[in-house]
Every structure is written in structure tokens, then in C-alpha cells.
Amino acid sequence: MAPYALFSAAGATDAGALTAEITALGYMYRGSAKTAPLPATPAQPTLGGQTATPRPPTPPTAREVTGWLTRHSDSLTEDECATRDAVLDRSPALRATGDLVSEFAQILTQRRGHEPRDWMQRVDTDAAAALRSFATGLDRDLEAVTAGLTLS
């Protein structure tokens, strides 16, 4: 019997015969002939030459998105930038939070100690809860933050 002879354009026709054929070809199958997996629809991959339906890309993890938002754009690859931008395009709230994170990074790196209070007010109205929590903690130590960003 030719390999995969039990497959037609519509998929496998007999689980028992398929199990026997696979076993005869030297493959081990540890199930019963009655439970041999068969394609449920023609869209699933089969041994009969049909093509598989491509899987959608795996969504990024929260850790990946956080990294894209907190790292400088110059340190991201082109693919990371494109994926980050696609995620931000789908979520205006996340885009607002990302913009605020970038703005805070500029306040830190450019040592603009007079701007955190204005930034925290924008966070209160525009950002996600986690960033609001961060801003609340900053507010508790605002004098120290301001001194750290303005004094040499």
C-alpha cells in the first residue's frame, strides 16, 4: 500500500486502517485503532497533501510589551518596533501609558526636576492603574525626587 493511500482530498477515511498503515511503516502508535486522531476538517493539516491553515501569530506577553515601552526606541529591533506600534495602535489607553512612560524617561535622563508634578497630574487622568500607583509613590517622596533631578 502506498504511503498515505488512505487519505483523500477530504482527509482520512478509516482510523483503523490508518493505524495499521502507520504501524506498518515503522511508526509507533500507543493508542487504540478506534482512537487514532483523524482530521476534523479539511482546513487541518493532513498527510494527503492538503495545506494547513496558518496559525495567527502568538500575541506578545505583558513582559515583552513592558520592555518595549520602557526601553529606548534605539535599543529595539525593527521587528520589536513594528510589533510594539501594532499593539499600541490597537489600544489607545496603552498608547497613552506608553507616551507617559517615555515622557518620564526623558524627565529622568534630562534631569528636569521641575516637571514631575505636572507629569503626575497627567498620569492621574490618562494612565493605567499601575502607572498611577507608581506616581502616587513618587508623590510621597516628591521632594527627594525633585532634589535628585535638579541638584548635582
Question: Where exactly are the structural domains of the chain?
Answer: 1-55, 62-150
Which has the closest alpha carbon to 2: 49, 62, 67? 49
Tell me the pLDDT tens digit for each residue of 38-83.
554 444 455 555 566 777 878 889 899 999 999 988 999 999 999 9
CA distances from 74 to 28, 78, 80, 88 (A): 51, 10, 11, 17
Grouping H, G, I as helix, E, B as strand and the rest as coil, residue 49 is coil
pTM for the model stands at 0.58
